[in-house]
């Protein structure tokens, strides 16, 4: 299911991200996985009970990455095997996926604004805060220089979201999201979502 430079949403429900200590440790493990496996992390949100992770993978199997994610760590509550994966067509879904991830803390009433939620990459995009997200992956889908792309993403983030761009990410199952040609090339079933 995984291909060279695949853009993937990983929904990790194998953890209980309820304490500050667990959130810090999970974020540390994300940064370690990025380095160890040469992953790019376009966006993330660590929410109570689940993590939403937008990875770009250089032909590494994310099942293996997430399976060994917490070995030897202080994250005792982590359970392997509770991840769902969605491969996305980046030119069609990258910005929508980042918006979905960045807006989930607002939808779950954890913060009034996306950039106000500390355990999300939204503050890196909007507030200029340093962190592990590789925001150029998403911002490169907007036209113009970096400042113009950032302004366009910031405006896009607060636009009303059509259901067709929310529902596919909310479904709790593995999937391939894209046009017919993309799905045929990346899905074991070849059926569009």
Please state whether 87 falls in left (phi above 0), alpha (psi between -120 and 50) or beta: beta
The encoded tokens of residue 2 equal 């995984």
Mean pLDDT of 132-140: 95
* Distance (Å) of CA 150 to CA 15, 25, 131, 146: 32, 29, 16, 6
pTM: 0.87
- Least Cα distance to 141 among 96, 91, 88, 89 occurs for 91
151-171 tens-digit pLDDT: 999 999 988 877 766 666 666
pLDDT, position 89 = 86
- Least Cα distance to 29 among 85, 89, 72, 83 occurs for 72
End-to-end CA distance of the chain: 15
pLDDT, position 1 = 45
Q: What percent of the chain has pLDDT over 90?
A: 35
Residue 72 and residue 19: Cα distance in Å, rounded? 19
pLDDT at position 137 over 80: yes
Domain 4-180 has CATH 3.30.70.360: no
Residue 141 and residue 74: Cα distance in Å, rounded? 37
pLDDT at position 74 over 80: no
- Least Cα distance to 101 among 87, 117, 112 occurs for 117
Number of continuous H segments (helices) and E segments (strands) in the chain: 8, 5
pLDDT band per the 50, 70, 90 thresholds, residue 138:
very high
In the sheet with 83-88, reading across from the earlier edge strand, the strands are 40-47, 50-58, 4-12, 83-88, 175-177
Domain boundaries, the chain: 4-180
């Amino acid at each position: 299911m995984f291909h060279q430079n695949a853009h993937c949403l990983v929904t990790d429900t194998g953890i209980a991200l309820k304490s500050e200590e667990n959130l810090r440790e999970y974020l540390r493990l994300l940064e370690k996985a990025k380095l160890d496996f040469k992953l790019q992390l376009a966006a993330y949100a660590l929410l109570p009970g689940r993590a939403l992770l937008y990875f770009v993978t250089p032909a590494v199997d994310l099942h293996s990455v997430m399976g060994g994610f917490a070995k030897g760590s202080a994250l005792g509550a982590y359970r392997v095997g509770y991840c769902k994966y969605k491969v996305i067509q980046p030119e069609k879904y990258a910005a929508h996926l980042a918006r979905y991830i960045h807006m989930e803390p607002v939808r779950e009433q954890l913060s009034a604004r996306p950039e106000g939620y500390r355990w999300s990459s939204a503050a890196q995009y909007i507030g200029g805060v340093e962190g592990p997200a590789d925001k150029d992956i998403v911002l490169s889908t907007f036209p113009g220089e970096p400042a113009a792309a950032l302004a366009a993403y910031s405006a896009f983030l607060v636009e009303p979201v059509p259901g067709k761009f929310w529902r596919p990410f909310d479904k709790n199952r593995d999937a391939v999201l894209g046009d017919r040609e993309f799905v045929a090339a990346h899905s074991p079933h070849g059926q569009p979502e």
